[in-house]
Every structure is written in structure tokens, then in C-alpha cells.
């Protein structure tokens, strides 16, 4: 803590590495007593140069890179990318492929929201909720692994459709998980609506009014919890959402409590969408042949990710390598309102306020940057370990002889 | 596509320079051709204040040879996306910030500065985003002539072959 001599204000940096943050971000909080009077947001610690990397790979290779923009909502990125290219190449994907995209998309929404519910529970000291919701999330991940071969980064999309079909056994297993989650989600909704401790901890926290949500360009559950009905599945239906009914979910609390309710209701709606899609799943092919070279042009493709509107701008030049891609993930839109949400809050509410936008800083760092005096070094894992050993040695502690314990196997 | 066409017609009526430089790409998509800075300034304020394009999703920077391109992705309550383009020569890549109208574009404009070398006038704050502190001055990784294979992660220096190292703006002086 750095006391500011000019006033009673105290400046606390939270992050880039901090127990309350699941990924690196730096929030510089200025306090007056316990109250946040100013907040600065520092992001960019996870920038991996994906867009530059895409400019030197062909479209299929790029598809796999784009899927790795996010480890949680990877399907929404590959869907936005594929449908952008399909628009440029004037491809119409088979209906069955469009339905499979929707089923995987809603399973992804379920596991993303369940993950968030657990993190939110953890941030407010309600670890039982964390364990319950993550237990339920495992069921969704299991069924995703069965359908796609992977728990995350599913690799089901391809340009022109999907790579894998879903057979009857898989469909029955998905329905079993859907039925299981129906009861669980009703319980969580009941909990949110009736548990006084939970509502006392969440209501009135991290407020972002409807006007401010519009001003700062908030998207997804953050905007919908402020009463703004913006859902790309409804305002610009894509894939099979042109045929599958989607009920708009909004709330007017405009705080963390509202965002919690919206996400639980959205999960219940996802169950209905999956049931409808399975019941009406058409037969036929799952993909059409796509050209290696995509005709020159520009396209803006968007999808409704679990965290909100996901936009991909793609410029092609007629070759098999794209000219430019720009991914605007939903968290990028929700950062701007964060500063506004934090100011006026108490310090103890900062972690849950940050968590409530469900921030995704992207999931894997390629390097660690260490500042030593005026010099900056980018270190890989081994260099970082050596740096740590040397740092301790200089201070009289030799940790190099410590052996890492064998990892236990629980299988 | 009546709503989209109405917007295009109104803008063509208001601004003469839009003739043949704005079009409905498809349903819910309006694109323009790149505008000069003074034309762009007039349009962005008008469509925000008078036409209900209240939301700015992001700005896409592009390397267009001798120019830098800037594509502002805006939308209104009907979900119509307006891709408003601006350009500036690489020799003098000056544009004005629009954060007074769209505060949500702060990070995106800083990205234009870091990754493309744009000079965004009026943009508050001077911290580096998204490149790390100590990134070598004059290195703009999203420009087409910047090649990642010549960048040394350990020393944070850009070392192109001699014939490329003479190119404008490619130095290793640390910021």
C-alpha cells in the first residue's frame, strides 16, 4: 500500500498476479477509507499476437488458431470465423451442420456460465456453490468430449459445416445431461431468489445503469442485466438460430445480482434450445466443400458468445491466406464499464465486481515479462525458474536442491 | 434492407462526398470507402448525434500500402452495423481521437498507436497497450513489413537483414 501524502487516499495495485484474479490484469484502486474513489484498468498482459500469426497461415490453420483465442468459448470464435469465410465464399452450409453448431454453442454457454457461477460463489466465500456448479459443469464437459473429442477447443467447426456428426447415442446422452441440469439450475435460481445472504452480498454491487451500459458499449449478460435486450441470436440470427426459438432474457437490477439471475435464466433457456434442436435435428450432410482460396472481400461476422457479442472482421485478398482478421471478444467491450462499476464500491466488493463481467483475459501466456531496473526481459518457464533460484540465492536461501514431488496419479 | 438503404440515402443527401462511396453490403451491414480525416470528423459526429449509432464496438487498423486504414465498427439499436472508414498516409498517420463521442474506443485507439504506429491526437494516457513496456521504438507489429521472425524475445530487439533494416521506422531504440 502506498499512502498518498496529499490526502487520506491509499493506492492499492491489484494484479497483474493476484489471488482474486484468475488471469493477469492490473487494477489500480484508489481508496478513501474502504471506498473506491478511482480505478485504473491495465490489460494486455495476455496479448499473444494471434492476429499477426493468422496473416501467415492458410485458412484451415488459421481456424485452429482462432479457436484458441479463448479456452472457454472457443466454439463461438470458430463459428464467427467460419461463417465469415462462408459468406465471402458464398457457401451455404447444410441444415444439419447449422443445428450441430447450435447444440455445441449452447453446451458451451452452459459450461461457461456454470464456470462463472462457481467463480462468483468462490469470490464471495460461498465455496459450496463453487463445488456444486463445477461438479455440474463436468457433466457438460464430458458430453462435449463425447461429441467433439475434446473438453475445450472442440475442433468441430470447419469452413462449410462441421467435422463430426452426432449419432443417436450421443444425442441421448446430451438429453440426459440436459434433464440433470434442469433440476440443478432450478435449485440455483431458487437459491439466488430466496437466499438472503446471497442477495445481500450481490445486490447493489457493481452497478451499471442502462444509460451507462449503452454509453460504455456493454454486451452480453452485463447489458441484459441492465435491461438492454441485445442478443445476436435474436437480432441477427445465424446458424440454426434462424429456425430455433430463443427467448430474450433481461433483468433490471443492473448489478451483480442481476447478472447472476440473467446467467442462470440463460442456462435454463439453453436447455430448451438444445431440446428443440435435438428434436428437430435434420438429416443429411454435415459439410459442403470449401475452396482453399477465399474470394477477395471484407466481412463482419458476429455471434452471441456466453459473455456477449463476439465480432470478427475478416479481409480476404483472393489467396489462401487472409489479409487481416480482427477479433473483438465480448470482454473487450465490457472493460470500459468496469471502471465505472468499481468507483463508489467498497474494496471487499472489488473481486466479485470484476468477476461479474466474467472477464476472459485469454487463456495462455506465451511469456513472462520481468522488469529489473530499467531492463525488461521476456522469459520462458525455465529461465523464470532459474531467475527465481538466483534471486533467492542472493538473499542467502538456496532452493535449487529442493526436488519437486512426484505427481500423484488418481486414476 | 429498407432501413439500411434509408440510412445510406440520408447520408448521401447530407454529405456530397458520400456519392458512390457508401453502400449496403447486405442486410444489417453498411460499408463506406475510406474518408479523409476532415470528412470523417463530420460524419462520425452526425451519425452518433443524429442517426442513433450510439455503440462503437471497435476500430480495425489495416495496412493499406502507403496508407493506414481505420475501420470504425458502429451499430444502432436495430443492430445495423456501420463500418465507417478513415485513412491517413503512413508518412503522416495523424487522426483525431473519437473518445469524446465514443469513450469505449479508448483501448482500441491505443492499440492503433502501438500496433500500427498511428498518431491519435487527443488520446489521453500514454501507457503502452497492448505491447509490453520497453518495446523497441518504431516497431509496429501489425504493419505488413514487420516480420516476427526478426524479433528477438530475449533482447527485445528487431534485427531485420540489412536491406530491410534501412526501412523507415524500423529502429531498436527503446521507448
User: What residues in B contact A43, CB-CB < 8 Å?
Assistant: 107, 129-130
Residue B108 covered by a domain: yes
Q: Chain A interface residues facing chain B, Cβ-Cβ under 8 Å?
A: 42-44, 47, 49, 51-53, 55, 87, 214-217, 230, 232, 235-236, 298, 300, 302, 309, 311, 313, 315, 323-324, 326, 328, 332-333, 335-336, 367, 369, 371, 375-378
Mutate: best of A90, A326, A328, partner B, most B CBs <10 A: A326
- Alpha carbon A361 to chain centroid, angstroms: 8
Residue B156 covered by a domain: yes
Report the 10 Å Cβ neighbour count for B147: 16
The pLDDT tens digits for A283-338 are 999 999 999 999 999 999 999 999 999 999 999 999 999 999 999 999 888 888 88
CATH number at residue B49: 3.30.460.80
Residues 6+ positions from B157 with CB-CB distance below 8 Å = B136, B151, B172
3-state SS, residue A21: coil
Residue B126 covered by a domain: no
Averaged confidence pLDDT in chain A: 88
C-alpha cell at A92: 451455404
Alpha-carbon gap, residue A247 to A15, rounded angstroms: 38
Is B68 in the same domain as B107? yes
Q: Tell whether the model's pLDDT for residue A410 goes beyond 50.
A: no
Is B44 in the same domain as B107? yes
Alpha-carbon gap, residue B40 to B94, rounded angstroms: 13
The pLDDT tens digits for A3-50 are 455 568 889 888 787 777 777 788 888 999 889 998 888 887 888 888
Omega of the bond prior to A62 within 30 degrees of 0, cis? no
Q: What is the DSSP string of A150-198?
A: -SSS---EETTEES----HHHHHHHHHHHHHHHHHHHHHHHHHHH-HHH
Is B116 in the same domain as B137? no
Place of cell 451491414: B29
Alpha-carbon gap, residue A246 to A238, rounded angstroms: 12
Sketch out chain A's domains with CATH numbers: 50-355 (1.10.645.10), 372-411 (no CATH)
Residue B43 covered by a domain: yes
Q: What is the DSSP string of A83-128?
A: HHHHHHTT----HHHHHHHHHHHHHHHHHHHHHHHHHHHHHTT-HH
Instruction: Note the pTM of the prediction, 2 decimals.
Output: 0.87
Is B31 in the same domain as B54? yes
Between vectors from CA B129 to CA A353 and to CA B65, what angle results, nearest 5°? Answer: 135
CB A324, CB A174: distance < 8 Å? no
Is B90 in the same domain as B109? yes
Alpha-carbon gap, residue A159 to A286, rounded angstroms: 11
Residue B63 covered by a domain: yes
C-alpha cell at B141: 507489429
Q: Tell whether the model's pLDDT for residue A106 goes beyond 60.
A: yes
C-alpha cell at A234: 435474436
ipTM summary value: 0.92
Between vectors from CA A134 to CA A74 and to CA A306, what angle results, nearest 5°? Answer: 35
Averaged confidence pLDDT in chain B: 89
Is B13 in the same domain as B91? yes
B7: closest CA among B40, B63, B46? B46
C-alpha cell at A55: 496473416
**Domain range for B18:** 2-121
Is B112 in the same domain as B29? yes
Q: In the 8-state DSSP scheme, what is residue B115?
A: I
pLDDT reported for residue A375: 58
Is B17 in the same domain as B103? yes
Least confident range from A355-359, B75-79, B104-108: namely A355-359
User: What residues in A contact B128, CB-CB < 8 Å?
Assistant: 44
Return the exposure string of A297-317: e unless at least 16 CB atoms fall within 10 Å of the residue's CB, then b: bbbbbbbbbbbbbbbbbbbbe
Place of cell 524475445: B153
Residues 6+ positions from A230 with CB-CB distance below 8 Å = A219, A223, A224, A309, B79
Q: In chain A, whose CA is at the least distance from the CA of B61?
A: A326
Alpha-carbon gap, residue A12 to A29, rounded angstroms: 5
Torsion over CA of A371, A374, A378 and A384, rounded to 10 degrees? Answer: -50
Question: Averaged over A260-281, what is the pLDDT?
Answer: 97
pLDDT reported for residue A364: 30
Contact A376 B55 (CB under 8 A): no
Alpha-carbon gap, residue B122 to B111, rounded angstroms: 15
Strands (E), A243-351: 297-305, 308-316, 324-328
User: What residues in B contact A236, CB-CB < 8 Å?
Assistant: 28, 79
Contact A217 B156 (CB under 8 A): no
The tally of domains found in chain B comes to: 2
**How many helices (H) and strands (E) would you count in chain B?**
4, 9
Is B29 in the same domain as B74? yes
Contact B83 A236 (CB under 8 A): no
pLDDT reported for residue A380: 61
The pLDDT tens digits for A357-406 are 877 765 333 234 444 455 556 666 567 677 778 888 887 878 777 665 55
Report the 10 Å Cβ neighbour count for B49: 11
Please name the member of A217, A302, A375 whose beta carbon is closest to the beta carbon of B104. A217
Is B54 in the same domain as B102? yes
Is B78 in the same domain as B140? no
A92: closest CA among A232, A231, A233, A238? A238
Q: Tell whether the model's pLDDT for residue A261 goes beyond 70.
A: yes
Is B116 in the same domain as B140? no
Residue B145 covered by a domain: yes
User: What residues in A contact B62, CB-CB < 8 Å?
Assistant: 315, 323-324
The pLDDT tens digits for A215-258 are 888 999 999 999 999 999 999 999 999 999 999 999 999 999 99
Amino acid at each position: 500500500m502506498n499512502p498518498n501524502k496529499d490526502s487520506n487516499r491509499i493506492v492499492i495495485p491489484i494484479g497483474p498476479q493476484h489471488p482474486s484474479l484468475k488471469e493477469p490484469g492490473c487494477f489500480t484502486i484508489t481508496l478513501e477509507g474502504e471506498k473506491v474513489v478511482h480505478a485504473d484498468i491495465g490489460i494486455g498482459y495476455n496479448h499473444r499476437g494471434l492476429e499477426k500469426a493468422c496473416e501467415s497461415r492458410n485458412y484451415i490453420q488459421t481456424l485452429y488458431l482462432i479457436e484458441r483465442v479463448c479456452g472457454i468459448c472457443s466454439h463461438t470464435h470458430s463459428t464467427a470465423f467460419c461463417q465469415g469465410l462462408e459468406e465471402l465464399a458464398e457457401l451455404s452450409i447444410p441444415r444439419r451442420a447449422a443445428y450441430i453448431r447450435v447444440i455445441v454453442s449452447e453446451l458451451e454457454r452452459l459450461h461457461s456460465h456454470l464456470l462463472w457461477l462457481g467463480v462468483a460463489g468462490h469470490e464471495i466465500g460461498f465455496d459450496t456453490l463453487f463445488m456444486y456448479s463445477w461438479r455440474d459443469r463436468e457433466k457438460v464437459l464430458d458430453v462435449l468430449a463425447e461429441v467433439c473429442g475434446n473438453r475445450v477447443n472442440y475442433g468441430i467447426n470447419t469452413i462449410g459445416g462441421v467435422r463430426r456428426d452426432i449419432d443417436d447415442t450421443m444425442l441421448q446422452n446430451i438429453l440426459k445431461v440436459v434433464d440433470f441440469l434442469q433440476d440443478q439450475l432450478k435449485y440455483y435460481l431458487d437459491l439466488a431468489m430466496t437466499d438472503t445472504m446471497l442477495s445481500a452480498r450481490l445486490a447493489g454491487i457493481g452497478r451499471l445503469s442502462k444509460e451507462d451500459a449503452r454509453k460504455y458499449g456493454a454486451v452480453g449478460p452485463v447489458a441484459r442485466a441492465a435491461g438492454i435486450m441485445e442478443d445476436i441470436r435474436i437480432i441477427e440470427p445465424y446458424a440454426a438460430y434462424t429456425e430455433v426459438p430463443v427467448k430474450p432474457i433481461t433483468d433490471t437490477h443492473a448489478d451483480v445480482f442481476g447478472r447472476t439471475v440473467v446467467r442462470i435464466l440463460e442456462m435454463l433457456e439453453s436447455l430448451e434450445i438444445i431440446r428443440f434442436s435435438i428434436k428437430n435435428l435434420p438429416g443429411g450432410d454435415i459439410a459442403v466443400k470449401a475452396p482453399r482460396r477465399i474470394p477477395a472481400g471484407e466481412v463482419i461476422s458476429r455471434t452471441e458468445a456466453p459473455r456477449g457479442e463476439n465480432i470478427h472482421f475478416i479481409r480476404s485478398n483472393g489467396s489462401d491466406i487472409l489479409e487481416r482478421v480482427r477479433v473483438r471478444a465480448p470482454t473487450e467491450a465490457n472493460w470500459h464499464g468496469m471502471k465505472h462499476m468499481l468507483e463508489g464500491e467498497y474494496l471487499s466488493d472489488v473481486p466479485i465486481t470484476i468477476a461479474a463481467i466474467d472477464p476472459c483475459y485469454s487463456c495462455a501466456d506465451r511469456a513472462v515479462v520481468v522488469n529489473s531496473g530499467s531492463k525488461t526481459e521476456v522469459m520462458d518457464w525455465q529461465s523464470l525458474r532459474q531467475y527465481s533460484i538466483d534471486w533467492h540465492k542472493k538473499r542467502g536461501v538456496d532452493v535449487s536442491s529442493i526436488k519437486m514431488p512426484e505427481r500423484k496419479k488418481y486414476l | 434492407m429498407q432501413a439500411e438503404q434509408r440510412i445510406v440515402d440520408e447520408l448521401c443527401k447530407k454529405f456530397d462526398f458520400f456519392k458512390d462511396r457508401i453502400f449496403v453490403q447486405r442486410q444489417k451491414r453498411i460499408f463506406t470507402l475510406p474518408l479523409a480525416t476532415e470528412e470523417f470528423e463530420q460524419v462520425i459526429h452526425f451519425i452518433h448525434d443524429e442517426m442513433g449509432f450510439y455503440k462503437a464496438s471497435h476500430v480495425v487498423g489495416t495496412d493499406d500500402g502507403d496508407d493506414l486504414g481505420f475501420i470504425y465498427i458502429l451499430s444502432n439499436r436495430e443492430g445495423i452495423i456501420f463500418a465507417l472508414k478513415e485513412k491517413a498516409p503512413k508518412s503522416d498517420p495523424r487522426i483525431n481521437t473519437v473518445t469524446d463521442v465514443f469513450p469505449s474506443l479508448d483501448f482500441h485507439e491505443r492499440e492503433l498507436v502501438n500496433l500500427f504506429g498511428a498518431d491519435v491526437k487527443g488520446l489521453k494516457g500514454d501507457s503502452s497497450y497492448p505491447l509490453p513496456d520497453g518495446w523497441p521504438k518504431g516497431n509496429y507489429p501489425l504493419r505488413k513489413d514487420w516480420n516476427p521472425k526478426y524479433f528477438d524475445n530475449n533482447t527485445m530487439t528487431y534485427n531485420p537483414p540489412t536491406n530491410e533494416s534501412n526501412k523507415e521506422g524500423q529502429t531498436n531504440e527503446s521507448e
